[in-house]
Each structure stands twice: as C-alpha cells, then as structure tokens.
Amino acid sequence: MSGLSHSEVTVFLLSIGVMLGMARAMGELMRRLHQPAVLGEILAGVILGPTILGMLNPMASQFLFPMEGPVAVAREGLVTVGIVLFLLVAGMEVDLSTAFRQGKAALSVSFFGMAIPFALGFGAAWLAPGLLMKVPEGRELVFALFFATALCISALPVIAKILLDLNLFRTDMGVVIVASAIINDLAGWLIFAVVLSMMSTAAGAEGGAGMSVTTSIGLTLLFAGLTLTLGRWVLHRILPWFQAHLSWPAGVLGMAITMALLFGAFTEWIGIHAIFGSFLFGIALGDSRHLRERTRATLDQFISTVFAPLFFASIGLKVNFVESFAIGPVVVVLLIATLGKVLGCTLGAVLAGMNRQESWAVGFGMNARGAMEIILGLLALDYGVIDQPMFVALVIMALATSMTSGTLMQRVLKRQAVVNFADLLNARCFVRSMKAQDRRGAIAELSNLIVAGTSLDRAAVEEAVWARELTMPTGVGSGVAIPHARIKGLTLPLIAVGISDDGIDFDSPDGAKARIIFLILTPENDNGAQLQILAGIGRMASNRKVPFKLAESSGFTEFLATLRADQAEGQAH
C-alpha cells in the first residue's frame, strides 16, 4: 500500500476499472455482431488512448492513462502478468495428441502453410522493404525474419471458435485444421523465439543476460524440448498427487499460476519474452488428462474475462491508430499475408489428398491470425524492430483475417452456422402465463403470437402445427412440449414460448403436464435447423432442474438468463 500514494492508488484503480469495463462492453458488442471479442477489446483501448480520448480531451487521457510515473509502471506490471497468464491459457488449448492423430495431412498443411507465407514475407521484406517501412540500417535481416514469421503464425483460439460455430470441430476436416494450427503455432513460436533473441541482441539492450544469440537460441530450444517431454511427463505424474493431498482446486490452480510466472521469468531471462515460457508450460499442463475440466474452466474463465481484456485494451493506449495509419503497408501486409497463407494451406491440403472444396476451406480457416499476431507485433514494436504504421498494419491484418475467415469457410462449404434455439427467442414471442388450458388452445395462442409482424397466415400455421401434433404428441417430459411444423415460404426459423401455470397435457412419456411450451416453425427445406432446435431443447430438458427453474421465471429476461447459464455450464463440463 506504500509505494503508491493515496491519489496514485485512486487513479490506478479507476483507470484499470475503466479499461476493463470498456473492454468487456466492446467485446460483448462485437460478439453480438458475430465478430471476435478481441476486436472489441482492442477498440476499447483505441477509444481510451491517444486515438480518440487523447484527441478529444488530452487532459483526461493523460490523467487516467499516464505513460510515465508510478501509475504507468503499476499498470504495465498488471498488464504483463495478464499477457503471461493469457498465454498460459492459450497453451492449455494446444492438444498435442490431436496433432499426432492426423499426422500426415496436418504436417502437409502446416508445412506449406508456413513455408509459403514465410518465403513471400521474407522475400518482400528483404527485396522491397520500402513498401513496408523505413528499415534502420543494419536491421534488415532481423526485420525480414520478423516479418516472415509474423505472416506464418495462425491463431488457434480463433480457429477453434470458428470450427465450433460451424459444427465442424469434430469432423475429419476440422481435426486436420486444428492439428495443423497446433503444429503451426508451436513451430511458429519456436521460430519467433529465435527471432526474438536476435531482436533483443540487435536492440543492444541489456537483454539476454548478456548471452550471445547462439547461447540464447540453444537454451530456448533445449528449454522447449525439455518442457514438452520431461515437463509433460512430470506434470502428468504429479497432478494426481496435488489433487489427492492439497486443497482442491486451490492446489492445482496455485501451482499452475506459480509455474507460469516462473517459466515466464526464465524465458525473459534467457532473452526471449516471458510469454514464451508460460505458453510452453500451458501446453505441458493442458496435455495431462489428470487436469480436471473444472480447474481448466476456472483458469480459462477468469483469465479470459479479466486479464486478456486488460492486455488487449492496453495496446490501444500506446499507439495512435489514426495518425499511424498508412494505407501502403496495410494493403501490402494484408495481401501478402492472405495470399501466402491461403495458397500455402490449400496446396498442403490438396497434396495430402483432400478434395478441392475442403482444401479451400482449410486455406480460409487457417488464415485467421487473431491475437497472436498482435502480441508478436507489440514485442517487435517495443524492441524497435518495426515502426508504428507497420504495427497498425499488422493489427489490421490480424483483425481482418479473423473477421473474414469464418464467412469464407461457410461460403466454400455452403454450410450454415449451428442454430442455438436460445438465439431465436425474444420478449415479443413470450407469454408468462398462458390462458389456454388444452393442447389445441395452447397451439392457437402461441400461433397467434408468432405470426404477429410477419406475413404468415395464422390459420395455416395453426393447422400445420396441429396436423403434426396429431401424428405424434410432442411432450418430451420434464414439463416441456415442443409443437412444431415446417412452413413453406419461411426463410428463418421462428420460436414462440409460453409458460402455463397449471400445465397442459401434451401426452408426455413421463406423464407430467407441460409447463413450458415451445412453438417452433422452420423453413420447409431446412432439415438441419429443425433438428438442431429440437435437439437443443431436448438436451435442456434432460436435466429436470432446468425446466423447473424456467417455469418459475418471473419474466422473459429471467427465463433467458436461466437458459443461457445452463447452456454455458453444459459446455464447460
């Protein structure tokens, strides 16, 4: 509590509260627009930093986010811990066994997916650096190596999310993509570690504890090799001991974070950045099947919600994105990065024997760069290897590729995103206390509601649902019923929900009256949507407690809140 004065503590807490709040709010906004949350988190920093707040009100910006002095140092310390822990979680997502399983195809995709962008990037930065930035004399090689590496790294977390959204995660193609991204991540970061140790030496700083580049590279490779073999083996053996003999989950959580910090300190000491150490430790830890889902979820949730947004927002504080925007580098970087990655990965997939459509999908999927690119760029900026316009170009490239990757894959595969029935609910199509007392009445009441504001014919809808109901009753047990029909001319699925206080008999197998009735209309030819909606509601109803709680909701918001929380908890298990 000493070290920072009273007013410094006030500013420090206020500033990180504002950063976190803004980052979370913008992250949620982006999620609503089906964009990666990291985009919003970076935007939050742009708003609070020199780009916007600094322009509108330099005093406020300087007061809240000073670039020097104790408040700045305390903020940097917290952000550094944030990025180290974020890389721990990112490493835990890397599943080495997946990479082994699809060995051949993944090797082919990741090899060409790295070699081609690397060659293109190196060529461009070496032969025509002027297109990108004014490279300081004597730094040509380091810059070219950095630029080549930056172009060849993918972003596993973003890719995994896209595959989940498209329901491709467990398909053969999905596994190939994830496996390639894992190999790509691992190899890319190793190359980057080497480039980093060159950068820190080139920077002429006190870096690397005075080691030569060769020593630093040798130590890096040795350390990575040991962590991924011996380290993994030891962790797998001691985790059960931690769980058996220490308090749970504090024992494992505390160990994971302690080790991530110590590994980070070690790699920082040998001259590459701290994030490399915590990333490697994360891989070794996440690979053990003894790490329980709950522990993984607690680490992931807290770090992704608190530390990662703080880190990404802090980026915008350092750079003026408007002043440092230069169209030249942005276009060149985007072009080379996309061309190299998409062509390289597609080629790799074709050579591994995948068909053309799938190969293009692999190429587009692997093009997402996400957060990793930005972290790389920030380090290069700190070491003075790149200038601000080049950094801005890298950030824009990373965000643009992440934002388009999913859409492009979807186009190539003509695949629709998975429908989550909760996304289709809205307050207008919700009745807290239904008037109807029987099946027919309930269907009529909800049909009336669902057609309001559409061009659908009420009578036709009611008739179609009732006809379907007569072929087989739709009570699914646990007090839930799902009357439904396919409707000609409909383009998107619609759902109306009613809660019946007394319950309505929908002839459910468990004999219980239905208290929650979902009326579901789907387009005539969209088999997938109907199946996904029915399966989603079925899964929800399989835990008796959830329908019971839903039926007691005081209104739509509480109803949706219960549903969302149940879905999120189901995913975490």
**83 or 537: whose CB is closer to its own copies?**
83
Cα gap 147→155, rounded to integer Å: 16
- Our CB check for its own copies shows the closer of 60 and 205 to be 205
Beta strand pairing status for 494-504 and 475-477?
unpaired
Residues 140-199 touching its own copies, rule: CB under 8 A, are: none
Nearest-approach distance from CB 245 to its own copies, in angstroms: 7
Active-site residue flag, 290: no
For 34, left (φ over 0), alpha (ψ -120 to 50), or beta? Answer: left
**CA-to-CA dists, residue 294 to 59, 220, 248, 538, 543, angstroms:** 45, 32, 10, 24, 19
Q: Looking at 92, 99, 261, 497, which residue binds its own copies (CB under 8 A)?
A: 261
Binding mask 60-99 for its own copies (x = CB under 8 A): -------xx-x-xxxxxxxxxx-xx---------------
User: What H or E segment, with its residue span, contains residue 520?
Assistant: strand 514-523
| CA atoms 392, 393, 398, 402: torsion sign | positive
Q: Which of 6, 245, 290, 484 is catalytic?
A: 484
Q: What is the DSSP annotation of 163-232?
A: HHHTT-TTSHHHHHHHHHHHHHHHHHHHHHHHHHHHHHHHTTSSGGGG--HHHHHHHHHHHHHHIIIIIH
C-alpha span between 367 and 153 (Å, rounded): 9
Residue 412 interacts with its own copies (CB under 8 A)? no
Binding residues for its own copies, rule CB under 8 A, total: 98
Per CB under 8 A, 294 contacts its own copies: yes
**Nearby residues of 307 by Cβ (< 8 Å), 6 or more positions away:** 81, 82, 83, 85, 86
Residues 466-495 close enough to bind its own copies by CB under 8 A: none
Provide the minimum distance between the beta carbon of 573 and its own copies in the complex, in angstroms, as a whole number.
10
Which amino acid would we find at residue 511? Answer: G
Least Å distance, CB 12 to its own copies, is 6
Looking at the Cβ atoms of 24 and 484, the one nearer to its own copies is 24
User: Which residues ranging from 199 to 238 are in contact with its own copies (CB under 8 A)?
Assistant: 200, 205-207
Spatial separation of the C-alpha atoms in residues 486 and 524, rounded to whole Å: 5
Choosing from 59, 244, 470, 472, the residue that interacts with its own copies (CB under 8 A) is: 244
> Out of 305, 320, 420, 448, which residue is the one contacting its own copies (CB under 8 A)?
305
Question: Is position 444 an interface residue for its own copies (rule: CB under 8 A)?
Answer: no
Stretch binding its own copies (CB under 8 A), from 188-196, 265-273, 496-504, 514-522: 265-273
The reply to whether 378 sits near its own copies by the rule CB under 8 A is yes
Q: Is 557 in the site for its own copies (CB under 8 A)?
A: yes
Task: Find the binding residues for its own copies in span 313-332 (CB under 8 A).
Answer: 318
The H-assigned helical ranges of 130-171 are: 140-152, 156-165
Q: Of 103-111, 117-125, 167-175, 240-248, which segment contacts its own copies by CB under 8 A?
A: 240-248
Least distance in Å: CB of 269 to its own copies? 5
Phi, psi of 519 (to 5 degrees): -95, 120
Separation between Cα atoms, residue 541 and residue 477, nearest integer Å: 7
Active site residues: 484
